[in-house]
Amino acid sequence: MLAEIERFHKWLRRRSPGASTHVHYTSDVALFFAWLGKPPAQVKVRDVDAYIEHAQQSGHAMATVNRRLAALRSFYEFLALEQDDAPANPVIPRRHFIRQGERLPRDLEDATVERLLAAITHPRDRAMFLLMLRCGLRVGEVRSLSLGDLYLQAAAGKLPRLWLHGKNGKQRVAYLSGQPLAALKEWLELRPVASDEAVFVNRSGKRLTVTGIQKRLAHYCGKAGLWATCHQLRHTFGRQLAESRVPVTSIQRLLGHSRLRTTQTYIHISDQQVQADYEAAMARITKRLGEGGEAV
């Protein structure tokens, strides 16, 4: 790995010690230079053009390409801070970043969720995935949970809650309903004594990694004969809130979204008023046209 990339890795880790950005961005930048075979000072705008074409021809998703471009641009911004004679940044947002249409969140059907939950028997794992499904936690937030973040003995008139360390160092509170609270308490009674303050630890008493949690979900998906991701559990939580007519601003706060527009996508996938209007319209159209599809 280039020495500049190693310094970039350390710089990112210092800036956001609780995030995984340093891992992904370092990997993305290393992949770019391994493909190009040039030192940072020799990279030109057209090299970035060629890399985008290569990534697209290799079948990489638009979001992946844009993340790699963001990583590369951040790398050159780091060089500009570090060096007086730093090379020009070859990543030009208006030229290189790929426009993406607005995509709706992919949730799970309720029947699929029940099949998955039936397959999850380990108390630790059941608690982890119920926190995603019933409280909307991200996989990184589950991993980051420490014993000091738990407030399970709520005062009168208040709900049990968790203190979360979210994306970009932001903190928020997540409330616990009966099902995830019971699962969490069951796990805590069985949790081995460990020096690590993590809520969810492995057999060695160490904090689980994000990859380790994802592998556990893949294991249970295999048992249940389905496929799901950790983020789909969170999406399902958002969709179920929207179906229960929770105000969009409350959903925003429960999911920890910075922008209301992000939260509104859950309304689009579960707009009961639109569904009712469509159903009523189809009934009127069918009555007017008759069973044969012709006006009567």
Please give the class, per CATH, of domain 110-269: mainly alpha
- pLDDT higher than threshold 80 for residue 269: no
pTM value is 0.68
Q: How far apart are CA 120 and CA 220, in angstroms?
A: 6
What is 3-96's CATH number, 3.40.50.1820, 3.30.1200.10, 3.30.70.1450, 1.10.150.130? 1.10.150.130
- Number of other residues whose CB lies within 10 A of the CB of residue 206: 13
- Distance from chain centroid for Cα 186: 26
Domain ranges across the chain: 3-96, 110-269
* Residue 220 scores a pLDDT above 80: yes
Confidence of residue 101 (pLDDT cuts 50, 70, 90): low
C-alpha torsion sign, points 269, 168, 134, 108: positive
164 SS3 class? strand
Q: What are the pLDDT digits (tens) for 273-295?
A: 677 777 788 888 788 787 555 54
Q: What is the pLDDT of residues 163-186, one digit of tens each?
A: 998 776 778 889 999 999 999 999
Q: Please list the active-site residues.
A: 138, 167, 231, 234, 257, 266
CA distance 192 to 200: 10
- pLDDT digits 0-9 by tens, 60-90: 888 889 999 999 999 999 999 999 999 999 9
